[in-house]
Every structure is written in structure tokens, then in C-alpha cells.
Amino acid sequence: MNPIDADQKLAIYQKARQAKNPDYDGKFYVGVTTTGIFCRPSCPAPTPKEENVRYFEQAYQAMEAGFRPCLRCRPDLKLPFVVKGLHPEGALKVQQALEKIHQGFLNEHSVGELAANFQVSERQLRHLFDLHLGASPKQIAQYHRVMFAHQLVTQTDLPITQVAFASGFQSVRQFNSRFQAAFERTPSQLRKGKSRKLAAANLVIPYPDDFSFQRVLAFMASREIEAIESFSAEGYERNFHLDSGTGRFRVTDDAERQALLVEVETDDVRCYMTLQARIRTLFDLDTDMHSITAALAEDEHLKGGLETVNTVNGELQTVPRLPVAFDVFEFVVRAIIGQLISIKAATKLANRLVNAALEQGVLTSQTGAVFPNPQQILAMSLDNVGLSQSKKATIVAVAQALVDGKLSLQPNQSLPDFYRDFIAIKGIGDWTVHYVAMRGLGLKQAFPAGDLGIVKVLAKQLGKESITPKQAQQIAEKWQPYGAYAALCLWNQYG
């Protein structure tokens, strides 16, 4: 077949954009001159006029032309998993590497260290980035720093010096130079020109129309570890200990801005980039819920578990969001403790474990009341926490496997690989693997088929007294690759 000419390609792009066709996501990008942002073709935002649109074949090209990524459809993260002429695994590695870049990984590490996370050489990773993005990891990181700084300058009242270091720049001079080159104005000039009042917050995280802060908060609140976190009608607070900084953050909802406001107390502002990425994951803000809802909403087993969200255009039925744990190891231990007992009982024991770590001096004043890491678990006694011998042994075995490198809790792995490594540990069963994969690592294909609530709901729907986990798993095959969201719908019906 002869290659299409420029006019034919433009006609295809225009038609796909007008139809918001998700099949073209990753094949081209739409720059909107009136807003200065660029989007995927399927972006749910109002469709701009054709005269206000520019088309790009790579996200990097849009950034090079001065457009910043849309915070609603996140075109800079949503690369296609299957790219013509390339193995899908290559696109997946680029996708995962982009996510680590957005967490600030290259602010403190080299491209070689980034490549090692994905079991490829630095040369291979650069080659994959060039194929998929037409830019190197370092170039993408530089643009992300500028875009992150743009958010802080235009949305918050953080001092400019703090913005520079929070965005990963090594000096204020370097920051001013890069910022002015990207936006043709200095940070101070851009902030002075803002007509909208800046938020008295360290981070402002916009969210989509179909997001309900209170619903996600309610899901998380029943699992509160009091020494670490607290919930209220207004928001969520948590202590944190990251490689880039330690402190406490508070998240509240600003409905007028349609954004989460994050207030941070920390010893190092360089943690902001990682913190924003972790909070976005915690509230599942980067998932395309429109596509998942379209795939699952009409299923007879799941539609009773949809949630109603109030939007500017009225009520909307949507699949529930998947809150992914802020601290993955903490969630692993919680899942082990929660085997065969209620959420309330498991939460009580998790609180006792943290208090025991504080009493034993395993958690120092420098780290504060955060959940103990694997090394700290191995250094403390679990005898007076109230755990059974088998659960204590399993928690210790998991901590040792992580220290020895026999288990990884990184989200950049496949479900089969994680299943193989985690199930090999004594005391870990199928339910725990899928539950951790789902809510700890955010693997969307995970489906805890042996979950009591899931089995009971499906049995009732089928008019049976009971069904087996294997039968539940067979039913769930039609919901892939969104098994985790199907599980949330079933849990909603279980109550």
C-alpha cells in the first residue's frame, strides 16, 4: 500500500480528534493554541476549534513547540503498548521509564541506573526512547522539570527559589535559564501575569470530572494506621519517608479549582516531584476511567457496583477508582495480617505493629512514625503484636526476600512474574498475591478470585449457593485487562 500523503493524514487526524477516537492515542497528539496544552485524541475535555489546533506525531515534538502536557488525559504518560514494527515490550519499558522520570528519578540518578531498573543497557533504553519518542530520557526529564516548575509557579505561592529545587534543578540560575527558554518569560514574570489567585499550598493536583475525593477517602479511611495517617471530612494526612525527603503532607479538596491541594512539611523540597507522583497514584488520577467504564459498565455482573459522581455536566456513572498504596511494603504486611480476619481486626494489629516498632526504637526520630521497612522489620520483635506464629513467619520471610533481592515490589513488572516470586514464599496464597498486585502495585489485571466478597456476590448473581474461586476466575476472564476494577465493582455490591 502506498504511504498516505500529508493531506490524507491531516484528514485522518481531524476525523479521529472530532470523534475522540482512543484508537489513535499515541499515534498523534493535539496541541491547542488557546490553552498552550497538548492532548491525546480521546481527551475528554471540550473539543477545540480546528483553527486552534496543531498536530504532532510525537509528544516530544509538542513539548519542543512550547505546549505542555494536559493534566487530564496525560499524553506524556499514555504511550501505546503495541507500536507498529516494534515488540510491545519495548513500548512498555518506555512507558514505565517515563513514569519513573515523572517521579523525579533522573533528578538524583543516571540514565544507566534508570535502564538497570528495566534490565536493559543504557544504550538500549536510549534506542527505545528514540524510537518511541524521538528524544532521549535526559531530554524528557529536562522538559518534565520545566513543566513541573510551570505548575508550581502558576498554581502555588511557593517562593521561586523553592520552585527551582523542588523541580529538580541544581541551581536557580539553571532554572531561570531553562524556564525562560521554554516559556519566553522568567518565572517571576509569569507569576506576576497570573490573574487567578495562587493556592496557599505546596502542590496543586488537578483531577478529572469523574473523580470523587470523598469516595476514595471513604475507601481508605477504614484502614487507618493512627500513628502514621489520619482521615477527616476535610482530607487526608500522612507521614512519609522518601529517598528525596521526609515529612508529612495533608491533602484537601478544592472543588472550585477542581484540584487536590497538598500542604507539605518536609526537610527537603526536592521530594515534591516524587510526592506528587505518589499522591496521583494514591488517588488513581492518571487512569483513563472513561475507557474502563466503557469496557465494564454494561456487564450484568458489574453494573450494580458502579458509582455515581456529580460533574459539571450532571451525574455520571463510573467504575470505582483504585487507590494504590502510598507505601507498598506497608500494604504487603497489611495484606498478610488481614488474611482470614476482618478489616477492623487487621487495622488494629497493624497499628500495634507500628507502635511496637516505635517502642523498640526501630523507628528513629529522624524517620518519625512511618511504617517500618523490610530491614527494620527484621531488626524488631513481633512477639507482642498479637500476630499468629504463621503470620509472623510470613512477614519475616517476605522482608528477607526483599532484602535478598528475591522479590520486587516495583510496579514495573508483569503480573505473572510477580505471582511467581511472591507465591513462592511460605504463607502467601493466591488471594494475597492478587490483592497486593492490585492495591499495592496497581497492576490492573489482578483479580482476587478467592476473595469471600467476590465469590459471594457472583454466586448470588448466578442463583447458586456458592461457586469456587476457579469459577470466579473463569468469569473474570472477560473483564481483562481491567480485572482489578471489576473486583472493585463486585466489592461495592458486597458492601
Strands 37-39 and 68-69: parallel
In a domain, 89, yes or no: no
| Banded model confidence at residue 346, pLDDT cuts 50, 70, 90 | very high
Mean pLDDT, the chain, as a whole number?
A: 90
- The pLDDT of residue 95: 83
Tell whether 355 and 483 lie within a shared domain. Answer: yes
Q: How many domains does the chain have?
A: 3
Average pLDDT over every residue of 346-367: 87
The answer to whether residue 4 scores a pLDDT higher than 60 is no
pLDDT of residue 130: 86
Is there a single domain that holds both residue 393 and residue 453?
yes
Report the pLDDT value the prediction gives residue 92, as an integer from 0 to 100. 78
> In this predicted model, what pLDDT tens digit does every residue of 304-330 receive, in sequence order?
999 998 876 678 899 999 999 999 999
- Distance of alpha carbon 131 from alpha carbon 137, whole angstroms: 12
CATH code for position 224 = 3.30.310.20
364 backbone dihedrals φ, ψ, rounded to 5°: -85, 170
pLDDT confidence of residue 79? 53
**Same domain, yes or no: 264 and 207:** yes
Domain that holds residue 21: 6-69
Task: Tell me the Cα Rg of the chain.
Answer: 23
pLDDT of residue 71: 67
476 lies in the same domain as 341: yes
Q: What pLDDT score was predicted for residue 83?
A: 41
56 lies in some domain: yes
Q: What is the CATH number of the domain that holds 333?
A: 1.10.340.30
- Cβ-proximal residues to 260 (8 Å cutoff; 6+ apart), any chain: 203, 204, 205, 207, 213, 251, 252, 253, 254, 279, 283
Helix (H, G, I), strand (E, B) or coil at 252: strand
Mean of pLDDT values over 468-487: 97
Q: Does the residue 133 lie in any domain?
A: no
Is the pLDDT confidence value at 86 over 90? no
| Residue 234 included in any domain | yes
User: Residues 256, 360: one domain?
Assistant: no
**HSE-up of residue 444 (Cα within 13 Å, Cβ side):** 15
Closest listed residue to residue 167, CA positions, set 101, 232, 212: 101
In a shared domain, residues 264 and 357: no
Find the length of the chain. Answer: 495
Tens of pLDDT, residue by residue over 244-284, are 889 999 999 999 888 999 999 999 999 999 999 999 999 99
Prediction pTM value: 0.86
Q: Which of 69, 95, 121 is the last residue of a domain?
A: 69
Percent helix, strand and coil across the chain, each rounded to 5?
50, 10, 40
